[in-house]
Amino acid sequence: MKNCLLCDSKLKLTASWQQIIHGEKTKSICTNCRELFEKSQMPNSLYRYNEAMKKYLHQLKFLQDCRLTIVFAKELQQAIKRYEVDIIMPIPMHVKRLRQRTFAHVDELLKSANLPFEHLLEKTTTERQSDKNKQQRLQMENLFRLKPTVEIAGKRILIVDDLWTTGTTIQHATKILQQAQVKSVHYLTLIKG
C-alpha cells in the first residue's frame, strides 16, 4: 500500500477517474489533494497559485522532494506538445545556486514528463530582485546571457518555468533569445502567481 506524497494518507489502489484523466501510471497523490489544485484560466499556465500549490512547490523546490515531479508530468507533457517548437528551454538557475541546491526542479519536471530540453542561457547574477528598489530594477541588466556555443537563429523556442509572478524572468529570457534571431518564442509555466 502506498501513501499520498502530499498528505501521507493511504492511497486506494483501484484506478480512479482522476487517475485516468491525469494519465498517471501509478497514483502519486490522493483525490482530496488533487482536488485542491485550481486550473488556471490563462493560456500560458496550467494552475493557479493557491495554498495547495504553494505547499506543493515548497515541498518540490526547497525540500527537494523529487518524487513530486510525477504529479503533473502527464499534463505538462500534453500541454507542451501543443506548441510547435524546435527547442524546449527551462529557465536556468545560477550555477552557484544550482550547486548549493543540487536540484534543478524545472529540469526534473521536464524529465518526468519525458520531454527533451536544452539549456541555451546562463544566469548573470545571484542578486535577488527583492533586494532592489524600483529604480535599480528598471536599470537592471539582463538576468541572462546566451551560452557561448549556442546557435539558435531561425529556431522556435518554448521557455518553461515553474512559477509566473511579475513576468520579469520570462521577459529577460525572451529578449536574449530574440537578439539571437530565433524565429519565435513562446512560454509555459506550471503555475501563474
Residues that bind Zn ion (CB under 5 A): 4, 6-7, 30, 33
Q: At closest approach, how far in Å is the CB of 73 from Zn ion?
A: 17
**Residue nearer to Zn ion on the CB measure, 33 or 173:** 33
CB closer to Zn ion, 4 vs 180: 4
Of 30 and 109, which has the nearer Cβ to Zn ion?
30
CB of 9 to Zn ion, least distance (A): 5
Say which DSSP state 7 is in.
T
Closer CB to Zn ion, 33 or 160, in the complex? 33
Angle between helices 73-81 and 105-112 (to 10 degrees): 80
Closest CA to 70 of 24, 135, 11: 24
Give least dist CB 2 to Zn ion, A.
11
Q: What are the E-state strand segments in the chain?
A: 45-48, 87-90, 121-123, 144-146, 156-164, 184-192
Q: Work out how close the CB of 72 gets to Zn ion at its nearest, in angstroms, rounded to a whole number.
A: 15
